[in-house]
Amino acid sequence: MHKIRLGIVGLGIMGRRYYAMLRTLAGVEVTALCVRHLDTIDDLPGAKFADYRKLCASGQIDAVIIATPHYSHPQVAIEALHHGIQAYSAVSAVCIGSSRIGSVLRRTINPAPGAPRGKARGAGCSSTSVRIISICCNGL
């Protein structure tokens, strides 16, 4: 079985809860973590990043869980989508940047003719791989 390689951005209370829960799932492997202060995650295994952009560009994850303050979710999600990485945000994209995220999703799902197609899929789109995470934007 192919395991989905997950990264987590933000490992405060919620991020650590996600981490503990995800480690128990058979088809998931938490492969990378991202926090501003790396010394706060010395106790956790996996690749460690202090910059979410480097995490997204690393090639070490298939999807990312965003567990940071709500105002930072759009930029992390957009960066992930630019790299063809699925993103999970528990914050409503409608309130904090749905037009920017929607624009990225449209380019990823329906790229210009001849442009490479990313792996990210928006709400309502199908994927041949197991899809556990998606960003949902109303009004796309």
* DSSP result, 18-33: HHHHHTT-TTEEEEEE
Say which DSSP state 2 is in: P
- 19, part of any domain: yes
Cβ atoms 46, 63 nearer than 8 A = no
- 121, part of any domain: no
- 119, part of any domain: no
The DSSP bridge partners found for residue 66 are 9, 89
In this prediction, residue 4 carries a pLDDT of 93
- 120, part of any domain: no
Cβ atoms 34, 65 nearer than 8 A = no
How many Cβ atoms are within 10 Å of 36's Cβ, its own excluded? Answer: 10
- 129, part of any domain: no
- 80, part of any domain: yes
End-to-end CA distance of the chain: 34
The DSSP bridge partners found for residue 7 are 32, 64
**Domain assignment of residue 28, given as a range:** 4-109
- 117, part of any domain: no
The CATH number of the domain where 23 resides is what?
3.40.50.720
Least confident of 21-25, 45-49, 89-93: 89-93
Tally of structural domains, the chain = 1
- 125, part of any domain: no
Does pTM surpass 0.85?
no
